[in-house]
Amino acid sequence: MQSLSVLELVERFGERLDLEWITGRSSAADRELSVRTFRARPSLVGFLNLIHPNRIQVLGHEELDWLDKLDAKRRWQTIAEINAGSPAALIVSGEGDVGSDLEELAREGATPLLKSSRPAWELVSVLQYEVARALARRQIVHGVFMEIFTIGVLITGDSGAGKSELALELLTRGHRLIADDSPEFSQMTPDIIDGTCPDVLRDCLEVRGLGVLNVRHMFGDAAVKSNKFLRLILHLQQPANGPAVAQDRLSGQSGTTPVLDLEVPRILLPVLPGRNLAVIAEAAVRNFMLRMKGFDATADFIERHGRLMRHEF
């Protein structure tokens, strides 16, 4: 299971979020964030919560104002209760005053305490995204990951099926490459998988007979993209030796393929002589997008045929 220490978090995003150490830096390396499930409570980052204490508690204007309204005894008890929950870190945001009692109790409990000039909502929003991204489960899937008509499409198939050749033709038609050969996928939320390219393979596409091509230099910056959410898999299916397998001529061959914890829609594209796979791939993606909008060409055709049989035309 992946983990991220508070010290690593501050080193990565401290400058971006204007994070300044108040106390607890020496223990920050031992305070770790880890995630077992997206539905776990408490959450990793959030506003001050005494019932389900977040691992990183952010104290904004409203939280500090609430603490200021407590009498001295109750305020001390509340701050002690916050520290007793062993948060990974406490962050005071905006122009709010850290307070000597908060600093004292954080120092006694070796709790990392930081200050930022950024508003609380920005800290929570950015940290939630970045922490989820850093701790997300990852999986490498063999194929070519591209952006086709604004959606993330993974092209898979056996070695020699023509994945890279198809990707090259799609590039000439204005679509964009994200990763060739070994795209890396991370599960950001229960229903979102983000795909990126390993640094060593960035901008590169390997085509049999041509070797490694640098797509950015050949087609320009607009031909590559750093990441995209995975929405569809196009699987290139080579004909097997033997009798032809019966296919559904109305709806084609579709299903799902598991990637991490998500079942991703998959469309099988038979690789046959004389077929323009780039045109077929574009048509498959367009048809998939129509289905996502609620229009099913197969269902519409069957419904029309039914009306004809009932003499309703």
CA–CA separation, 264 and 254 (whole Å): 11
Enumerate the active-site residues: 142, 163, 181, 249
Angle 38-3-21 from CA coordinates, rounded to 5°: 105
pLDDT of the residue at 137: 82
- Sheet containing strand 45-47, edge to edge, reads 19-23, 113-116, 89-92, 56-59, 45-47
Per-residue pLDDT of the chain (313 residues; tens, 9 = 90+): 578 889 999 999 989 999 999 999 988 888 888 876 555 556 788 898 888 888 899 999 899 899 989 898 999 999 999 888 888 999 999 877 888 888 889 888 899 999 999 999 999 999 988 888 888 888 999 999 999 999 999 999 988 888 999 999 999 999 999 999 899 998 887 888 999 999 999 999 999 888 999 999 999 999 999 999 999 999 998 876 544 555 666 666 778 999 987 899 999 998 888 889 999 999 999 999 998 898 877 777 778 877 778 776 6
Residue 81 lies in a domain: yes
46 shares its domain with 158:
no
Residue 180, strand partner residues: 144
Instruction: Give the pairing of strands 192-196 and 204-207.
Output: unpaired
Pair (131, 142) in one structural domain: no
pLDDT for res 40: 59
pLDDT at 271: 87
Both 181 and 40 in one domain: the answer is no
The CATH number that applies at residue 142 is 3.40.50.300
User: Which of 94, 109, 135 corresponds to the end of one domain?
Assistant: 135
243 domain-assigned: no
CA distance 98 to 59: 9
The tally of domains found in the chain comes to 2
DSSP collapsed to 3 states, the chain: CCEEEHHHHHHHHCCCCCEEEEECHHHHHHCEEECCCCCCCCCCEEECCCCCCCCEEEECHHHHHHHHCCCHHHHHHHHHHHHHCCCCEEEECCCCCCCHHHHHHHHHCCCCEEEECCCHHHHHHHHHHHHHHHHCCEEECCEEEEEECCEEEEEEECCCCCHHHHHHHHHHCCCEEEEEECCEEEEEECCEEEEECCHHHCCEEEECCCEEEEHHHHHCHHHECCEEEEEEEEEEECCCCCCCCCCCCCCCCEEEEEECCEEEEEEEEECCCCCCHHHHHHHHHHHHHHHHCCCCHHHHHHHHHHHHHCCCC
User: Across all residues in the chain, what is the average pLDDT?
Assistant: 87
Q: Find out whether 193 and 168 touch, Cβ atoms under 8 Å.
A: no
Cα separations in angstroms, 246 against 156, 211, 240, 253: 22, 37, 12, 10
Q: Does residue 120 share a domain with residue 103?
A: yes
Which CATH number fits the domain that encloses residue 99? 3.40.1390.20
- Percent of the chain's residues with pLDDT above 70: 93
In 3D space, the residue among 184, 162, 176 whose CA is nearest the CA of residue 215 turns out to be 176
Are 183 and 94 found together in one domain?
A: no
User: Which residue range is the domain that position 226 belongs to?
Assistant: 138-237+249-308
